[in-house]
Amino acid sequence: MIEVLASAVLPVFALVAIGFGLGRLGLFDPAMASAVNRLVFLVSVPALIFGLLAQSPFERFAWPALAAFAGVELAMYGAGFLVARYLFGRETREALLIGLATAFANPLLFVLPIAETLFGRAAALPIVAIASVDALFVYGGTLLLMDALSEQGAAAGGALKAIARNPQVLATLAGLGVGLSGLDLADGVYT
């Protein structure tokens, strides 16, 4: 058990601790952290999402299990929203973000490296399926609601345009398109 902790879990959380430590030591200031976060959001995570989805064997997805996971995730989202909104009196947009934080486990950056270390590359399949649901529905839906609420009930077209420009949603759609079409891309694209 200690080996599992040392080889799979601790390295992932060590990276978080290193980043925190660099910030506390003043080696990373908020502007630098913002630049790294922007790179990860705009380039790194979309590239990871695209590559995983484009190479996924969708016929092997456990659709009933994925639907059950999505149902539980949405129930947690709703519970987080309701508690924040009605028990703690937070405004609707803030309560939506709290609901998102309650439900979203970040399967790509935390769960995937741990699962692959413990169980090999085959463990990526259910995580990719979960990440697809998260990107399209949980994350994308929250962006849509936040945008609609920020513009005081703006037309859905404006909110949809904002989502259509989101790199993670675009990478999910592109990865799904390539994966479902069976298009064979050069290995360099995935690298």
> Up-side HSE of residue 114: CA atoms within 13 Å toward CB?
18
Asked whether 175 and 51 are in contact (CB, 8 A), the reply is yes
- What does each C-alpha distance from 180 to 53, 142, 184 come to in angstroms? 9, 25, 11
Residue 184 has pLDDT above 60, yes or no: yes
Alpha-carbon gap, residue 111 to 152, rounded angstroms:
36
The pair of three-digit structure tokens given for residue 82, joined into one six-digit string? 């309701």
What pLDDT, in 10s, does the model give residues 32-52? 989 988 998 899 988 988 988
Give the integer Cα–Cα distance in Å for 47 and 136: 16
Span 119-158, pLDDT tens digits: 887 777 888 888 878 877 887 788 777 777 775 555 556 6
Average pLDDT over residues 96-114: 85
Pure H helices in 110-165 = 112-119, 124-133, 140-150, 156-164
* Distance in Å from the first CA to the final CA of the chain: 33
Rounded CA-CA distance 129/123 in Å is 11
